[in-house]
Amino acid sequence: MSTATENMAPPTTAGHGRATGPAQGLDVEAIRADFPALHQNVHGNPLVYLDNGATAHKPQAVLDTLAQYYGRDYSNVHRGAHTLSERITSAYEDAREKVRTFINARESREVIFVRGATEAINLVAQSYGRANLRKGDEILITELEHHANIVPWQMLSDQTGATLKVAPINDAGEVLLEEFERRLGPRTKLVAIAHVSNALGTILPVAKMTQLAHEHGAKVLIDGAQAAPHQAIDVQSLDCDFYVFSGHKLFGPTGIGVLYGRAELLGAMPPYQGGGEMIREVTFERTTFAEIPQKFEAGTPHIVGAIGLGAAIDYVGAVGLDAIAAYEHSLLQYATQRLSEVPGLRIIGTAADKAAIVSFVLEDVHSHDVGTIVDHEGVAMRTGHHCAMPVMQRYGVAATARASFAMYNTFTEVDTLVAALHKVKEMFAR
Amino acid sequence: MSDLRDLYQEVIFDHNRNPRNFGKLEGANHQAEGFNPLCGDRLTLYLKVDEAGIIQEVSFDGQGCAISVASASLMTEALRGKPVAEAEALFQAFHDLLTDGHGHELDLGKLKVLEGVKAYPSRIKCATLAWHTLESALHDEEQPASTE
Q: Residue A225: which CATH number?
A: 3.40.640.10
**Of residues A323, A387, A403, A421, which has the active-site annotation?**
A387
A96 inside domain: yes
A56 inside domain: no
Check B65 against A366: CB less than 8 A apart.
yes
pLDDT value at residue A430: 67
Query: What's the number of domains chain A is made of?
Result: 2
Range of the domain at A259: 63-317
Q: Does B67 touch chain A (CB under 8 A)?
A: yes
Shared-domain flag, residues A218 and A252 = yes
Instruction: State pLDDT tens for residues A29-55.
Output: 999 999 999 999 999 999 999 999 999
Shared-domain flag, residues A285 and A333 = no
Shared-domain flag, residues A287 and A167 = yes
Question: How big, in percent rounded to 5, are the helix, strand and coil portions of chain B?
Answer: 50, 20, 30
Shared-domain flag, residues A266 and A149 = yes
Check A383 against B38: CB less than 8 A apart.
no
Angstroms from B67 CA to nearest CA on chain A: 8
In the structure, what pLDDT confidence band is assigned to residue B5 with cuts at 50, 70 and 90?
confident
A215 inside domain: yes
Interface of B with A in 88-147 (CB under 8 A): 120, 122-123, 126
Instruction: State pLDDT tens for residues A185-225.
Output: 999 999 999 999 999 999 999 999 999 999 999 999 999 99
Domain boundary, last residue among A267, A283, A317? A317
Shared-domain flag, residues A299 and A330 = no
In the structure, what pLDDT confidence band is assigned to residue B145 with cuts at 50, 70 and 90?
confident
A40 inside domain: no
pLDDT value at residue B104: 65
A50 inside domain: no
Contacts of A298 (CB under 8 A, 6+ apart): A271, A272, A273, A274, A275, A276, A277, A278
What is the pLDDT averaged over residues B73-88? Answer: 96
Domain boundary, last residue among A260, A282, A317? A317
Shared-domain flag, residues A207 and A137 = yes
A249 inside domain: yes
What region does A219 belong to: left with phi over 0, alpha with psi -120 to 50, or beta?
Answer: beta
A57 inside domain: no
User: Which residue numbers in chain A have pLDDT < 50?
Assistant: 1-23
pTM above 0.90, yes or no: yes
Instruction: State pLDDT tens for residues A125-140.
Output: 999 999 999 999 999 9
Cα separation, A363 vs A372, in Å, equals: 16
pLDDT value at residue A4: 38
pLDDT value at residue A3: 39
Shared-domain flag, residues A330 and A310 = no
Domain boundary, last residue among A290, A317, A344? A317
Shared-domain flag, residues A12 and A140 = no
B146 pLDDT above the threshold of 80: no
Q: Is-catalytic flag, A387? A: yes
Instruction: State pLDDT tens for residues B87-135.
Output: 999 999 999 989 876 656 678 889 999 999 998 988 999 999 999 999 9
CATH code for the domain of A404:
3.90.1150.10
Angstroms from B40 CA to nearest CA on chain A: 5
Pairing of strands B145-146, B30-36: parallel
A39 inside domain: no
pLDDT value at residue B102: 65
Long-range pairs, A93-98, Cβ under 8 A, ≥24:
A94/A307, A94/A310, A95/A306, A95/A307, A95/A309, A95/A310, A96/A293, A96/A306, A98/A309, A98/A310, A98/A313, A98/A314
pLDDT value at residue B122: 87
For chain B, list the domains and their CATH numbers. Answer: 2-139 (3.90.1010.10)
Shared-domain flag, residues A188 and A201 = yes
Shared-domain flag, residues A174 and A301 = yes
Shared-domain flag, residues A220 and A185 = yes
Check B42 against A398: CB less than 8 A apart.
yes
pLDDT value at residue B148: 62
| Bridge partners of residue A281, in order along the sequence | A288
Shared-domain flag, residues A313 and A379 = no
